[in-house]
Amino acid sequence: MYIHVYLRQGVVYMPTVARTDAGFYMNVEPVAVVSLSNTDGIRSAFHELIARGNTVIPTPKRNEYPPSLLPKYAGVKTDRAFMHGTAHWAIDEKEGDYQIIGYRAHKDGYWVQDAAQKTVLPTGSTTENVVEQMIGILRDAARQQSSATFSTDEAS
């Protein structure tokens, strides 16, 4: 199981993640969009994503990649605009072992893993443990984003 989670301006975006024939992952429809304040909605969206799993899709040809999904859900025009002020994580499960991997925006406009944001859950953790851990991470990130925005506004 592999899931992407994004937090932008108090809204959680969780696209379905498909694995291509080539072995890499892509965001595909449907996309869950839930306010961070709706904890039950977030739990429900996670459970739907987990149940859906990672379907395998044909690898798109280089010149046939579909446009990025997330900017339209956030009401912005580009990936860069979506990435600005957005926090991103992946939940990766292999043979029952879970880890949550944080990402940061690279200056060239793509996401890179951030080793400082990696959480390895104890062996034997359940999907419910992972969902609750991720909700806690989302809440902490929202507080940090809010604090950073407040600090920036205060400096103006």
Q: What letter represents residue 83's amino acid?
A: M
Distance CA 156, CA 76 (A): 25
**CATH top-level class of 2-155:** alpha beta
H/E element holding 72? helix 70-74
Residue ranges per domain, the chain? 2-155
Q: What letter represents residue 47's amino acid?
A: H
| pLDDT given at position 149 | 57
pTM: 0.91
Distance CA 126, CA 97 (A): 9
Distance CA 15, CA 49 (A): 8
pLDDT in tens, the chain (156 residues): 999 999 999 999 999 999 999 999 999 999 999 999 999 999 999 999 999 999 999 999 988 888 899 999 999 999 999 999 999 999 999 999 999 999 999 989 899 999 999 999 999 999 999 999 999 999 999 998 887 655 444 544
| pLDDT given at position 63 | 87
Neighbours of 136 (CB within 10 A): 11
Distance CA 10, CA 36 (A): 5
Distance CA 49, CA 44 (A): 9
Q: Do strands 11-20 and 56-57 pair parallel, antiparallel, or not at all (unpaired)?
A: parallel
| pLDDT given at position 147 | 77
| pLDDT given at position 92 | 97
